[in-house]
Homo-oligomer: A and B are copies of this chain.
């Protein structure tokens, strides 16, 4: 058997998802046949580990090596040069949600550096960035996968790509795209009638359990869902300009948009419980429950994000915990959609999306 070809890995980000990815990478590298995976760069926003000789960074101790490092991260243009100069096939794993790094994707790709990432920003930013990224990918002969940018480890991006690339026509996509929103509404308006506290109490509970961002407004503004819809709509053929170029319902009361902190927001949120109670009661009157969903209608080019009412028997109403559900209506699948459901957030499952993307890249290098 030929000796193992080397592939260099560079990683930015070592937070919740990043740490889970590192442990999956260690598992993978130990089992990889025919390819030797070598970590040559790792950085957080403050620290980095790398060397001019591209010495392998040991995976089993990388977290402590990184935390005790005194090296600063390379500026992005320098990082591009550093990785491209190695003379070895290289994959950049961007485990951040940084817009700056996303903006630099074209520079990496054009130099033949492949990218795998859960970062939504690159694919849901301006349409120009989207076009630049895919043009640079072609130009550089690089590979690019971002399964975990929508639905974490669920096969959402790969499914829409398979549908479109085999000639199917996506007509509609609908679903619950946020683990936080799923958890909130499954608790606030359960199908089983019983339970369901006041809205503000549910938000506080979700925050306490770690289901929301530090400031819950970052979930409640709907932007995270809008970003995922932007990505899917673009794959479905719509030239969506940005995640703010279509209607997105924010669940932040106007009066609380500019309060100073997430804590102050939570303290004042009970003043607005009556509004959400009314929304819930209105749905109940029709025998329905309210859910926070996103939808894309390809023919009418309509993308929207917000509250909608669903029959108790509807799969969206019947979701549990913080699960996502995404329904693809296509020409081939007809009236019964192709549905993907399951945890759409969490370190391990998000990292799994990144790792399975890495496997796809490795198979092609």
Binding site for B on A (CB under 8 A): 24, 27-28, 153-155, 158-159, 162-163, 165-168, 191, 313, 315, 318, 320-321, 323, 328, 332-343, 346, 348-349, 352, 355-356, 359, 363-364
Contacts and interface: CB of A to CB of B under 8 A. Distances in A.
Given A155-B158, A166-B24, A332-B153, A341 B343 contact: no
Taking each of A167, A318, A355, which has the highest tally of chain B beta carbons within 10 Å of its own beta carbon? Answer: A167
Contact of A159 (B155, B165, B332, B359): B155
A280 to B, nearest CB: 20
Nearest to A2: B141
11 contacts: A24-B166, A28-B166, A155-B159, A166-B352, A168-B352, A191-B313, A313-B318, A320-B336, A321-B335, A338-B343, A339-B341
A182 to B, nearest CB: 10
A332 B349 contact: yes
A339 B340 contact: yes
Given A27-B167, A364-B364, A154 B338 contact: yes
A244 to B, nearest CB: 31
Contact of A342 (B24, B168, B337): B337
Contacts of A318: 313, 315, 318
Given A158-B155, A167-B28, A349-B332, A342 B342 contact: no
A155 B155 contact: yes
Nearest to A155: B155
A334 B343 contact: yes
A211 to B, nearest CB: 14
A310 to B, nearest CB: 13
B321 A336 contact: yes
Contacts of A339: 339-342
**3 nearest CB pairs, A to B:** A338-B342, A339-B341, A162-B356
A352 B257 CA distance: 47
Contacts of A359: 162, 165-166
A123 to B, nearest CB: 20
A343 B349 contact: no
A318 B27 CA distance: 39
A333 B166 CA distance: 29
A87 to B, nearest CB: 21
